[in-house]
Amino acid sequence: MWYAITGIDVENSLDKRKAVRPAHVARLQKLLDEGRLLLAGPFPAIDAEDPGPAGFSGSLIIAEFEDLQSAQEWADHDPYRAAGVYREVTVRPFRQTLP
């Protein structure tokens, strides 16, 4: 089943994000390689494709896991979480309707 993982950043998270982004993206790439990633990306902190120094306010990942517990465990081990980028993470079942 698909699960939506939403991470909400702490204030001024950009430097922390940059420091651990390679490890974060590597985990997402593994899901993609396994055919288990529907989408992933950050929420710009301002209304701009590239927010520059304003940075990001969080992230959304929609990926396939065996169950909610597996999705939660995966999210709990995200490098952004370990580095203190996220102040809050939620994991919810997701059912794709369109497209």
**Count of other CB atoms within 10 angstroms of residue 15:** 10
**pLDDT by residue, tens only, the chain of 99 residues:** 999 999 999 999 999 999 999 999 999 999 999 999 999 999 999 999 999 999 999 999 999 999 999 999 999 999 999 999 999 999 999 999 999
Query: What was the pLDDT predicted at 18?
Result: 97
Distance CA 82, CA 37 (A): 21
The pLDDT value recorded for residue 97 is 97
Q: How far is CA 31 from the centre of its chain?
A: 12
| Residue 59: predicted pLDDT | 98
**DSSP designation for 80:** H
| pTM of the predicted model as reported, rounded to 2 decimal places | 0.96
Check residue 88 and give its pLDDT: 98
Separation between Cα atoms, residue 81 and residue 35, nearest integer Å: 23
